[in-house]
Amino acid sequence: MLASTSKNNTMKKLIFVAVVLLFATNTKAQIKTYSTSGFDFILSYALLDDTLNPNVIPRFSCFLHINQNFHFDVAKHFGLFTGYGVRNIGFIAKYNDALNTTKKYRTYNFSVPFGFKIGTFGDKDPFFFFAGAALDIPFHFKEKTFWDNKKVSKNTEWLSDRVNLLQPSAFIGFTFPNKSSLKIQYFFLDYINRNYSYTESGTTYQPYGRFNASNIIAISYGRYFTGIKK
């Protein structure tokens, strides 16, 4: 009796393992994986709350924008993706003062997206909606100052404290049959670190203390999901 019970338990375990392996095999077979690479052009703008009330001007950039994405198509018309890339974002602020001051801010960001897509995929005539979230880390900062359109100073820093280190965002977009993509992205945290300070000749300065908010909106157009490599 005990031998029979033990045999039945062993058989149940073997059946369970077989079912799990069969499910795993089928799941793997159903998920289509591949990678894509691409580039884009970016128009970035800041929702800036500055006590000096400057005019914020959209900033266009075409360098340095590269990305690599890894796709997991779990169904015919639904998939997931992640990846990494480098993006150039920032904004321009023009002040109505005696010197006609213009400030230009930009960072190169290392970006990691996590998203989903719905539609028709593949290298031929794709058409799908995509959305998700991303985390950007600014690794190089540049600030330029102009008086009457003449550059008077430039400051560049690696891993600068002048901007916030972690910049999470959300995005939505479409990829069209011509393989181009249009995306809009909103950054939840301030771009500029308003608490940044430095000391010079015994005096402490907070150059961005007047910034109450500096959220970036970026509109991108390019080829994010082309160059499929299986």
Structural domain including 44 reads 33-229
Whether 17 and 40 share a structural domain: no
Record the pTM: 0.83
Whether 21 and 83 share a structural domain: no
Count of structural domains, the chain: 2
Whether 90 and 24 share a structural domain: no
From residue 174, give the alpha-carbon distance in Å to each of 24, 52, 130, 184, 214.
32, 37, 6, 10, 26
Spatial CA neighbour of 195 closest among 165, 158, 156? 165
pLDDT tens digits for the chain (230 residues)? 544 555 556 555 545 554 444 444 444 558 899 999 888 999 999 999 999 999 999 999 998 898 999 999 999 999 999 999 999 999 999 999 999 999 999 999 999 999 999 999 977 889 999 999 999 999 999 999 999 999 999 999 999 999 999 999 999 999 999 889 999 999 999 999 999 999 999 999 999 999 999 999 999 999 877 666 66
Neighbours of 196 (CB within 10 A): 17
Question: How far is the C-alpha of 35 from the C-alpha of 13, rounded, in Å?
Answer: 38
Whether 108 and 183 share a structural domain: yes
